[in-house]
Structure 1
Amino acid sequence: MKSILWYSLLSFAVVSLIFSRFAMADKLSIKDVKILSGAEIMDKAPKAGDKAVDFTLPYATKDTMIFEGLKLSSLFGKGPIILAFYPADWSSGCTKEMCSMRDNFADLQKLEAQIIAISGDYVYSHHAWAQHHNLPFTLASDYSGKIARLYDSWNEEKNYCKRTAFLIDNDGKIAYRDLEYSVKDDVDFQALRETLAKLKK
C-alpha cells in the first residue's frame, strides 16, 4: 500500500513539474528558454573581455587568393575586427549576410572596421563568390573547422560553420559576440554596428 501511495505521489510530482515547465516556457522569450537549457551557459566561445583566439588561415578576396594565410593577430591595433563565421558560400542566407556587409562597407570603414568572414569553403570558392558579388573584404577558409571550433562556431552534425559574429577591439580582446547571428532582419547587424560605434568613441 505504501509503495502504491509513494508511486502515485511521485507520478503527480513529475506531471506537475512538466506542466509547470510548459507554463513557464509559454511566458518566456526564446532567449530565456535557451539560457535555461544551458545553450548560452555551456558554450566554449571566447567571451567579452577574453583575448581573441589567434589563428592563421588561407584566404581570398575578389582580387586574389593567398594560400600562405592571414594571421589574425597581425591585424590587432589597426582597427576593430568583425569576425563573421557563416555556413557556406553561394547559399541564400549567407549571400544575404555578406551582401549586407558589402552594402554597409563604406559606413563600417568610417568606424575603422576590418572584416574577416570565415566558412569551411575552399579559397577557390571564396574567390569566385567574392568576384560574383563584388565583396570588398577578406574571406578566410577553415575547411577543417579547427578555428570555428575554438570559437564554438562549428556545427558538428552538419559539418559546417554556424552563423556567429564576434567583434575584436584594438587590443585583440572580444568586445562583443553573437552566437546566434540572424539574417532574417537587420536587428543583429545593428547591434553589432552599435557596439562598433562605441569602440570608435
Structure 2
Amino acid sequence: MVDFDVVDLPDTDHVAEGETAPDFTRPLVNEEFWEDAALSDLTDEGPVCLVFYPMDGSFPATYIWNELRDRDLGDLLTVVGVSISTPYAHKRLIEERGMDFDLFADPGNGVARDYGVANDLDGMAGIEEARPATFLLDGDRTVRYAWVAEEWPDFPPYDDLEDEIRTLVD
C-alpha cells in the first residue's frame, strides 16, 4: 500500500533537447573529497548524464541512485548528480550506497532553477529542491535527451535513458 499521495507537478519551462545546458560551478563531491568544479570541465572530457534529484536521504534519491548504480551506467559515460544537499550529506550518501558517482552540492537550488526543474516543497514556504530530472549532454553541453518529472514521486524511464546513453556513446 502506498503511504503517500501522488501529486501532479506544475508545468515547467525546463532546458530542452537541442539547447545548450547552462554551465555552473559548485562543490563536486566524490568518495574522498570535494572541490569546486564546473560542469563544462566534465563535458570537456565527453558526454555527461546530469541527474537532478531530491535531497539525500529521501526515498526518491535512494531509489534513483540504486537504479543508476545497478545499471553500471558510469562505465559508459560520466554520471553526475545535483541536489540541495550539502557536501557532508553527499559524502554519506556515496558511502552508504556504494556509489561511484560524483555529486554537485547546490544548497541554494540555483542550478535547478537555471535548468527549470526547481520544485517548491509542499507546505513549506520558501523551501524548494530539484524535481527528479535527467539531462544527457554531449561534449558541447548540447542536450541530447531530457526527462523531467511531471508528478511526485516520479522516476526517470531508466530503460529509455540507458538506450539514449548507449546511442550517444556508440
Q: Secondary structure at the match of 2:93?
A: helix
The two structures have a TM-score, normalised by structure 1, of: 0.71
More strand by share: 2
Asked if 1:149 is matched to 2:113, the reply is yes
Task: Name the residue aligned to 2:130.
Answer: 161
* 1:89-128 CA-partner distances (Å, limit 9, x unpaired): 11122101101111122x541x3x1011111010011011
- Greater relative contact order (Cα < 8 A, sep 6+): 2
Identity %: 25
Structure 1 ranges of 4+ moved more than 3 A: none
Asked if 1:128 is matched to 2:92, the reply is yes
2:41 to 53, 56, 74: 74
Task: Name the residue aligned to 1:54.
Answer: 23
Asked if 1:94 is matched to 2:58, the reply is no
Contact kept, 8 Å, 2:118 with 2:130, in 1: the verdict is yes
Aligned residues between the structures: 154
The two structures have a TM-score, normalised by structure 2, of: 0.83
Task: Name the residue aligned to 1:196.
Answer: 165
Q: Which has the larger radius of gyration?
A: 1
RMSD over aligned Cα atoms: 1.9
Shift in alpha-carbon separation, 1:91–1:157, aligned structure 2, 3 A: closer
Shift in alpha-carbon separation, 1:126–1:108, aligned structure 2, 3 A: closer
* 1:26-62 CA-partner distances (Å, limit 9, x unpaired): xxxxxxxx9xxx93xxx32221111110000112112
Name the CA distance, whole Å, in 2 between partners of 1:61 and 1:139: 7
Which 5+ residue runs of structure 2 have no aligned equivalent?
A: 1-7, 123-127
More helix by share: 1
Which 5+ residue runs of structure 1 have no aligned equivalent?
A: 1-33
